[in-house]
Amino acid sequence: MDIILKYFSDFTPQQLQQFAALQPLYTEWNEKINVISRKDIQSLYENHVLHSLSIAAVANFAGGMQVIDIGTGGGFPGVPLAIFFPEVHFHLVDSIGKKMKVVRAVAEAAGIKNITMQHARVEDIKNRKFEFAVSRAVAPLKDLWRWTKPLLKKGNEASLSNGLICLKGGDLAQEIYESGLRPNVVRISELFKEPYFDEKFLLHVSA
Protein backbone atom coordinates (compact mmCIF):
# COMPACT_ATOMS: atom_id res chain seq x y z
CA MET A 1 0.00 0.00 0.00
CA ASP A 2 3.01 2.30 0.36
CA ILE A 3 2.93 2.94 -3.37
CA ILE A 4 -0.48 4.64 -3.00
CA LEU A 5 0.89 6.92 -0.28
CA LYS A 6 3.87 7.75 -2.48
CA TYR A 7 1.54 9.64 -4.85
CA PHE A 8 -1.48 10.56 -2.72
CA SER A 9 -1.85 11.82 0.83
CA ASP A 10 -4.53 13.52 2.91
CA PHE A 11 -6.59 10.37 3.42
CA THR A 12 -8.90 10.00 6.41
CA PRO A 13 -8.29 7.09 8.81
CA GLN A 14 -11.34 5.38 7.31
CA GLN A 15 -9.97 5.68 3.77
CA LEU A 16 -6.61 4.26 4.87
CA GLN A 17 -8.41 1.38 6.56
CA GLN A 18 -10.45 0.70 3.42
CA PHE A 19 -7.41 0.73 1.13
CA ALA A 20 -5.54 -1.55 3.54
CA ALA A 21 -8.47 -4.00 3.53
CA LEU A 22 -8.29 -4.55 -0.23
CA GLN A 23 -5.25 -6.86 -0.28
CA PRO A 24 -6.57 -9.49 2.17
CA LEU A 25 -10.09 -9.32 0.75
CA TYR A 26 -9.06 -9.71 -2.88
CA THR A 27 -6.52 -12.41 -1.99
CA GLU A 28 -9.23 -14.40 -0.20
CA TRP A 29 -11.89 -13.96 -2.86
CA ASN A 30 -9.52 -14.49 -5.77
CA GLU A 31 -8.92 -18.04 -4.57
CA LYS A 32 -12.66 -18.74 -4.93
CA ILE A 33 -13.48 -16.67 -8.02
CA ASN A 34 -10.60 -15.58 -10.23
CA VAL A 35 -10.95 -11.87 -10.97
CA ILE A 36 -7.24 -10.96 -10.89
CA SER A 37 -4.50 -13.05 -12.48
CA ARG A 38 -2.68 -15.16 -9.88
CA LYS A 39 0.70 -13.56 -10.59
CA ASP A 40 -0.84 -10.10 -10.35
CA ILE A 41 -2.43 -10.41 -6.91
CA GLN A 42 0.87 -9.60 -5.15
CA SER A 43 1.04 -6.37 -7.15
CA LEU A 44 -2.56 -5.42 -6.38
CA TYR A 45 -1.77 -1.90 -5.16
CA GLU A 46 0.43 -0.90 -8.10
CA ASN A 47 -1.18 -2.76 -10.99
CA HIS A 48 -4.82 -2.34 -10.00
CA VAL A 49 -5.40 0.22 -7.24
CA LEU A 50 -2.87 2.87 -8.29
CA HIS A 51 -3.73 2.29 -11.95
CA SER A 52 -7.38 2.99 -11.11
CA LEU A 53 -6.41 6.10 -9.17
CA SER A 54 -4.76 7.63 -12.25
CA ILE A 55 -8.32 8.82 -12.94
CA ALA A 56 -8.30 10.65 -9.59
CA ALA A 57 -5.02 12.29 -10.58
CA VAL A 58 -6.66 14.03 -13.52
CA ALA A 59 -10.35 14.33 -12.59
CA ASN A 60 -11.49 15.84 -9.32
CA PHE A 61 -15.04 14.46 -9.13
CA ALA A 62 -17.37 16.75 -7.17
CA GLY A 63 -19.53 15.51 -4.31
CA GLY A 64 -22.92 14.22 -5.44
CA MET A 65 -21.75 13.19 -8.90
CA GLN A 66 -22.87 9.91 -10.42
CA VAL A 67 -20.16 7.81 -12.11
CA ILE A 68 -20.73 4.51 -13.93
CA ASP A 69 -17.95 1.90 -14.14
CA ILE A 70 -18.47 -0.17 -17.28
CA GLY A 71 -17.27 -3.77 -17.26
CA THR A 72 -15.94 -3.36 -13.75
CA GLY A 73 -14.68 -6.96 -13.53
CA GLY A 74 -13.26 -7.32 -10.04
CA GLY A 75 -14.13 -3.71 -9.22
CA PHE A 76 -11.53 -1.66 -11.07
CA PRO A 77 -11.42 1.27 -11.38
CA GLY A 78 -14.67 1.69 -9.41
CA VAL A 79 -13.72 0.34 -5.98
CA PRO A 80 -10.50 2.39 -5.49
CA LEU A 81 -12.24 5.49 -6.88
CA ALA A 82 -15.18 5.02 -4.49
CA ILE A 83 -12.74 4.96 -1.56
CA PHE A 84 -10.92 8.03 -2.91
CA PHE A 85 -14.16 10.00 -3.53
CA PRO A 86 -16.52 9.05 -0.66
CA GLU A 87 -19.01 11.81 -1.58
CA VAL A 88 -19.41 10.53 -5.17
CA HIS A 89 -21.77 7.70 -6.10
CA PHE A 90 -20.31 4.88 -8.21
CA HIS A 91 -22.50 2.43 -10.12
CA LEU A 92 -20.49 -0.68 -11.06
CA VAL A 93 -21.76 -2.74 -13.97
CA ASP A 94 -20.61 -6.07 -15.38
CA SER A 95 -22.25 -8.77 -17.47
CA ILE A 96 -20.57 -11.58 -15.48
CA GLY A 97 -22.50 -12.29 -12.30
CA LYS A 98 -19.75 -14.03 -10.33
CA LYS A 99 -17.49 -11.00 -10.70
CA MET A 100 -20.24 -8.81 -9.26
CA LYS A 101 -20.43 -11.21 -6.31
CA VAL A 102 -16.77 -10.51 -5.51
CA VAL A 103 -17.22 -6.75 -5.83
CA ARG A 104 -20.27 -6.82 -3.56
CA ALA A 105 -18.42 -8.85 -0.92
CA VAL A 106 -15.33 -6.60 -1.03
CA ALA A 107 -17.40 -3.40 -0.80
CA GLU A 108 -19.43 -4.72 2.14
CA ALA A 109 -16.42 -6.04 4.05
CA ALA A 110 -14.44 -2.83 3.53
CA GLY A 111 -17.41 -0.65 4.46
CA ILE A 112 -17.60 1.18 1.12
CA LYS A 113 -21.09 2.69 1.16
CA ASN A 114 -21.11 4.80 -2.02
CA ILE A 115 -21.25 1.88 -4.47
CA THR A 116 -24.20 0.21 -6.17
CA MET A 117 -23.89 -2.78 -8.48
CA GLN A 118 -25.79 -4.07 -11.47
CA HIS A 119 -25.38 -7.39 -13.25
CA ALA A 120 -26.12 -6.22 -16.80
CA ARG A 121 -24.72 -5.28 -20.15
CA VAL A 122 -24.18 -1.55 -20.37
CA GLU A 123 -26.32 -1.39 -23.53
CA ASP A 124 -29.30 -2.52 -21.43
CA ILE A 125 -29.12 0.36 -18.93
CA LYS A 126 -31.95 2.80 -19.58
CA ASN A 127 -33.37 5.91 -17.94
CA ARG A 128 -30.22 6.78 -15.99
CA LYS A 129 -27.72 9.57 -16.48
CA PHE A 130 -24.18 9.99 -15.18
CA GLU A 131 -21.61 12.78 -15.21
CA PHE A 132 -18.83 10.32 -16.05
CA ALA A 133 -18.32 6.80 -17.34
CA VAL A 134 -15.06 5.06 -16.44
CA SER A 135 -13.61 1.79 -17.67
CA ARG A 136 -10.40 -0.18 -17.78
CA ALA A 137 -9.38 -2.31 -20.78
CA VAL A 138 -12.95 -3.36 -21.55
CA ALA A 139 -13.59 -2.76 -25.26
CA PRO A 140 -12.43 -0.67 -28.23
CA LEU A 141 -12.95 3.07 -27.84
CA LYS A 142 -15.59 3.25 -30.57
CA ASP A 143 -17.73 0.66 -28.74
CA LEU A 144 -17.24 2.26 -25.33
CA TRP A 145 -18.35 5.60 -26.73
CA ARG A 146 -21.39 4.10 -28.47
CA TRP A 147 -22.49 2.48 -25.20
CA THR A 148 -21.78 5.40 -22.89
CA LYS A 149 -22.79 8.45 -24.92
CA PRO A 150 -26.55 7.96 -24.24
CA LEU A 151 -25.85 7.67 -20.49
CA LEU A 152 -23.84 10.87 -20.08
CA LYS A 153 -25.01 14.28 -18.92
CA LYS A 154 -23.36 17.22 -20.61
CA GLY A 155 -21.58 19.66 -18.33
CA ASN A 156 -18.31 20.71 -16.79
CA GLU A 157 -18.49 20.26 -13.03
CA ALA A 158 -15.12 18.56 -12.42
CA SER A 159 -11.59 19.45 -13.42
CA LEU A 160 -12.54 17.74 -16.71
CA SER A 161 -15.73 18.14 -18.70
CA ASN A 162 -18.27 15.35 -18.24
CA GLY A 163 -17.60 12.34 -20.41
CA LEU A 164 -15.88 8.98 -20.78
CA ILE A 165 -12.56 8.24 -19.07
CA CYS A 166 -10.96 4.94 -20.03
CA LEU A 167 -7.68 3.29 -19.13
CA LYS A 168 -5.87 1.52 -21.96
CA GLY A 169 -2.45 0.17 -22.86
CA GLY A 170 -0.23 -0.28 -25.89
CA ASP A 171 -0.31 1.41 -29.28
CA LEU A 172 -3.69 3.14 -29.53
CA ALA A 173 -3.27 4.97 -32.85
CA GLN A 174 -5.41 2.57 -34.89
CA GLU A 175 -8.07 2.26 -32.21
CA ILE A 176 -8.40 6.03 -31.88
CA TYR A 177 -8.49 6.46 -35.66
CA GLU A 178 -11.26 3.85 -36.02
CA SER A 179 -13.31 5.54 -33.29
CA GLY A 180 -13.50 8.81 -35.20
CA LEU A 181 -12.99 10.58 -31.86
CA ARG A 182 -10.37 13.02 -30.66
CA PRO A 183 -9.77 12.00 -27.06
CA ASN A 184 -7.46 13.83 -24.73
CA VAL A 185 -4.65 11.30 -24.11
CA VAL A 186 -2.61 11.31 -20.89
CA ARG A 187 0.48 9.15 -20.41
CA ILE A 188 0.08 7.54 -17.00
CA SER A 189 3.88 7.28 -16.76
CA GLU A 190 3.88 11.09 -16.44
CA LEU A 191 1.62 10.81 -13.39
CA PHE A 192 3.29 7.82 -11.72
CA LYS A 193 7.00 7.22 -12.27
CA GLU A 194 6.83 3.42 -12.17
CA PRO A 195 7.97 1.13 -15.03
CA TYR A 196 4.60 -0.68 -14.98
CA PHE A 197 2.92 2.42 -16.43
CA ASP A 198 5.27 2.95 -19.39
CA GLU A 199 2.74 1.83 -22.02
CA LYS A 200 -0.41 2.81 -20.12
CA PHE A 201 -2.68 5.69 -21.09
CA LEU A 202 -5.77 7.51 -19.89
CA LEU A 203 -8.23 8.70 -22.55
CA HIS A 204 -10.91 11.33 -21.96
CA VAL A 205 -13.76 12.02 -24.39
CA SER A 206 -16.11 14.92 -23.57
CA ALA A 207 -19.84 14.26 -23.58
pLDDT at 137: 80
Q: Kindly give the interhelix angle for 13-32 and 97-110, rounded to the nearest 10 degrees.
A: 150
Q: What is the DSSP letter of 135?
A: E
Q: Which of 95-99, 123-127, 196-200, 202-206 has the lowest mean pLDDT?
A: 123-127
Q: Report whether pLDDT(127) > 90.
A: no
* Residue 38 annotated in ligand binding: no
Instruction: Say whether the peptide bond before residue 150 is cis (omega within 30 degrees of 0).
Output: no
Confidence label for 143 from pLDDT (cuts 50, 70 and 90): very high
Higher per-residue confidence, 32 vs 157:
32
* Residue 132 annotated in ligand binding: no
* Residue 71 annotated in ligand binding: yes
Q: Report whether pLDDT(151) > 80.
A: yes
167 three-state secondary structure: strand
Beta strands at 184-187 and 132-136: parallel, antiparallel or unpaired: unpaired
Smallest CA-to-CA distance from 183 within 148, 141, 126, 121 is with 141
pLDDT at 158: 61
Residue 8's contacts (CB-CB under 8 Å, 6 or more residues apart) are 53, 56, 84
Going along the chain from its start, the domains and CATH numbers come out as: 2-206 (3.40.50.150)
Write down the mean pLDDT value for the chain: 94
Answer whether 73's CB lies under 8 Å from 37's CB.
no
Higher per-residue confidence, 158 vs 190:
190
pLDDT in tens, 85-122: 999 999 999 999 999 999 999 999 999 999 999 999 99
Distance, CA of 164 to CA of 25 (rounded, Å): 29
pLDDT at 180: 97
* Residue 85 annotated in ligand binding: no
Q: Report whether pLDDT(156) > 80.
A: no
Beta strands at 132-136 and 66-70: parallel, antiparallel or unpaired: parallel
* Residue 122 annotated in ligand binding: yes
Residue 7's contacts (CB-CB under 8 Å, 6 or more residues apart) are 50, 53, 57, 191, 192
Smallest CA-to-CA distance from 194 within 83, 9, 50, 37 is with 50
For residues 141-164, average pLDDT: 89
Strand order in the sheet with 66-70: 115-119, 89-94, 66-70, 132-136, 163-169, 200-206, 184-187
CA angle 49, 53, 54 (to 5 degrees): 125
pTM score above 0.85? yes
CA angle 59, 64, 68 (to 5 degrees): 65
For residues 43-55, average pLDDT: 97
Share of the chain above pLDDT 70, in %: 99
Confidence label for 154 from pLDDT (cuts 50, 70 and 90): confident
